[in-house]
Amino acid sequence: MAMDALPRVLVLHGPNLNMLGQREPQIYGHTTLADINAMLVALGRELGVEVETFQSNHEGELVGKIQAARGHMAAVLINGGAYTHTSVAILDALLAVDLPVIEVHLSNLYKREEFRHHSYIARAAVGQICGFGADSYLLGLRAAVAIIQRKQ
């Protein structure tokens, strides 16, 4: 008997997030990106979704990955890094792909510099989770799964 494929969640990490755990631990914590990805894959398994992770320091690569998600992914979880505050291209890709988007950030954007208070990604997102460190991603994945299950 053919098994139904699990819904897939695409997790995108923007620029500089590959340095997590190596610099500025007072802001971003000691957890590495590999740790976060492993926790997301494990939680996804528990919750019945397949998690695919991707990090890039290049805006166009992130746009390409978002475009390719259409028809293959059930939701997109994104920490756009600094592109959050600058990228209309990422916003347009997220709007075009027509999937539930959950925006996450390690730090609390609203306690930081004014320029971090505006997110282009927020316009395409169901919601935003920020300020909980690595747990922001795990909470975001739970939110994505709740949305996917409601649709099934």
Helix (H, G, I), strand (E, B) or coil at 9: strand
Q: Over 73-111, what HEC string results?
A: CCEEEEECHHHHHCCHHHHHHHHHHCCCEEEEECCCHHH
CB atoms within 10 A of CB 59: 17
- Closest approach, Cβ 33 to ligand CA2, in A, equals 9
Say whether residue 17 binds ligand CA2 (CB under 6 A).
Answer: yes
The answer to whether residues 8 and 50 touch, using CB atoms and an 8 Å cutoff, is yes
Task: Please tell me whether residue 142 binds ligand CA2 under the rule CB under 6 A.
Answer: no
CA dist., res. 139 & res. 50, Å (int): 16
The residue from 13, 28, 120, 137 that is catalytic is: 28
Tokens of 122: 């927020």
Which CB sits closer to ligand CA2, 20 or 73? 20
The interface with ligand CA2 within residues 62-121 (CB under 6 A) comprises 79, 81-82, 84, 105-107, 116
Minimum distance of ligand CA2 from residue 78's CB (angstroms): 10
Q: Smaller CB distance to ligand CA2: residue 105 or 148?
A: 105
**Which residues of this protein are in contact with ligand CA2, per CB under 6 A?**
16-17, 19-20, 23-24, 28, 79, 81-82, 84, 105-107, 116
